[in-house]
Structures are given as structure tokens and as C-alpha cells.
Amino acid sequence: MRDLPPSVTGLPEVWEWAEYYCPWCYITAVRLHRVQQEYAGQVHVRVRFFPLEVLRGDPAPRDILEQEWWLAALQEPDAPFVPYGTEDWPTTTLPAFDAVWAASRQGAAVGLDFDLRVRRAFFGEGRNIGRRDVLFDIAREAGLDLRAFEREFASPAARAAVLEESRVGRERFQVRGTPTLMLPDGTRLPLPIAFPIIRNRRIVAVRPLPCIGEGCLDATRAVFARALDSAGPQEAA
């Protein structure tokens, strides 16, 4: 089975298998970005593509997401959320995956920054991240090389890479939902999130809240410590 390289930077990695319409992926990404600053040059956060619409065959479910939206916002004050106030709702998030892949071709750090910008654009700014013009605007705001971005974004290689990564997640790493946090050896890592219990497309209960905001940073730091420990003394040095 063909797989992707185990590391894109040569550093120990933490993987987040993620979808762009998932609010839990957004707050996880915010926490990982924040703590990564403390582990600069030691551990790299790698976002791995897992488009749920490919797995489930449905676009972003607005009725469910608008229930989860504020539950996620309450758990992470550093992740801005605003009401999605228009009818211009994404019918697909696959262009967002293509765009992040294209941005990542300009460097791992560039791709990680662009990834968070795309999530913030949807949840914190109410922008349709299924639209290519919106993604170009985000690339411009991020200061990307726009010619290179446009070339990569338009390439069939972008969608092929996204779909291949999704296949690897399903088949090799048994990923079934987002966010799934793990080490490159497949070890699952805990997520300090109170996920909802949904029945008949309605939230009927919420699991106990493990932490909120600043209180979740120690749990996030523990994820990075696991990555360093798993790498061994030579890789972690």
C-alpha cells in the first residue's frame, strides 16, 4: 500500500485527521497551534486530510453544525465563532482541502498557517470556504505566492492527494471521524473536548466538560510530550 512520508519536517509529529466544516477540528487546531509555539523546532503538527463528505456522501450538515457551533465556542474562547448569517452555505469543502494542499507546497509552516486561516474564515468570519474565490482571497491575505498557489490549486494533483490521504486514513489508520489525533505509529491521543450526543439530528446530551480555554493547555502540552517521548532521544534532540 502506498503511504505518505512519515514526517514532512524531520521532526516528531502530531497528526490531526480533520475536516474543514468540523467545529471540533477548529478548536483542536487552535489549541495545537498555540502550544506548538512552545515546541518550535521540536514537534510539528501535521494536518491530515479526512473529508467526511467522501466517507459519508453528504455535504456539511447545516442543521447539525448550527447546534454544535456554540457548544464548541463555549469550550475554546481563543477560537472566534460568529453566526453564519447568509444562505451561501458550502455545498462541499473539498476545495478547501485542495487549497490547503496547494498552500502546503510553499512549506509546512505556510500550510499550517493557511489551514487555521481557512477554519477561522468559516467559523469566525462566516465565509463560504467551498468557493474558490474565497480561498484565493484567504491566500492573498496570508501573503502566499499567488502564482504558485493558483498553479497548484488548479492541478489535478491537489484533489488526487486529498483523496489518497483520506484513503490512507481509512484503510491503514482506521480513522472513522474527525478530529482524530494520533502519533505517526497510529497511537490515538486524547482530545479534551465535550462532544455532544446526537440522536435524530438533534443534540440530546453533552458529555462531561474536561476543561475550558486555558485549562485545556496542559492536556494539549501532554500530546506534544507524547510525541517527543515516542521519537526517542536522538529524534527528539
Q: What is the pTM of this model?
A: 0.93
User: Which tens digits make up the pLDDT trace of 99-150?
Assistant: 999 999 999 999 999 999 999 999 999 999 999 999 999 999 999 999 999 9
**pLDDT (tens digit per residue) in 205-234:** 999 999 988 889 999 999 999 999 987 644
Average pLDDT estimate for 191-202: 95
Q: What gap in Å lies between CA 51 and CA 32, rounded to an integer?
A: 20
CATH 1.10.10.10 fits 13-236, yes or no: no
pLDDT of residue 6: 56
pLDDT tops 80 at residue 237: no
Neighbours of 204 (CB within 10 A): 9
Q: Which of 77, 83, 71 is nearest to 31 (CA)?
A: 77
Q: Give residue 186's region: left, alpha or beta (phi > 0; psi -120 to 50).
A: left
pLDDT computed for residue 232 by the predictor = 63
Strand partners, 227: none
Written as nine digits, the cell of 101 is: 494542499
Contact 190, 218 (CB under 8 A): no
The predicted structure's pLDDT at residue 97: 98
DSSP 195: P
pLDDT at 83: 95
Q: Where are the beta strands (DSSP E) in the chain?
A: 13-18, 44-49, 180-182, 196-199, 202-206
pLDDT tens per residue, range 30-84: 999 999 999 999 999 999 999 999 999 899 999 999 999 999 999 999 999 999 9
Q: Residue type at 112?
A: L
